[in-house]
Amino acid sequence: MEFRTERLFIRPFMSTDLQDVFNIYNNDDTCRYLLHDKWTLENMKEKFNKKLENNALTKETLLSLAVVHQTKVIGDISVWYTDMKDTVEIGYSFSKAASGKGYATEAVSNLVKKLFSEYHVHRIQANLDVRNTSSQKLCERIGMRKEAHFINDFWNKDEWTDSIVYGMLLSDLK
């Protein structure tokens, strides 16, 4: 899958994207609410190679996409099928330099439209750490609704955290 928006090109990762992606994930703030720690020089190639392998969305494989502005990768969007019929989950991370410019909203909103129109998914969901208010706002901007708030249900990075679930159907598209 690849597509263009008004300002962005969304495509599978290429080997030349390594440094840009490292710059996204070599950041404590970016990785604070993710399931992994920040990337290091020692593990960046191994982590990045997994993104290169994730180049098609199937029932068995997840899809990782580079969000490119001009010539620089500023974001990473992933989508994968859940165990529920025709349901996918999305995740995303963007560079701090891209923050506040609407790029994440533009990329993710166009992705969900593609998932409904081309993959004919029934439902799209996002599971978030409740402290990630930026991600919550993004979900709400693109038309997702908050469906659940779980208290101390997730053990991550040596602490219990609350999680929330956002979801949307085709009828929720703005």
Q: Map 135-156 to HEC letters.
A: HHHHHHHCCCEEEEEEEEEEEE
H helical segments located in 32-174: 44-53, 103-118, 133-141
pLDDT of residue 154: 85
- Element housing 3 (H / E): strand 3-4
Percent share of the chain, pLDDT over 90: 82
What the block records as the tokens of 24 is 């996204």
Give the start-to-end residue ranges of the domains of the chain. Answer: 3-172
Q: What is the pLDDT of residues 82-126, one digit of tens each?
A: 999 999 999 999 998 898 999 999 999 999 999 999 999 999 999
3-172 is classed in which CATH architecture?
3-Layer(aba) Sandwich (3.40)
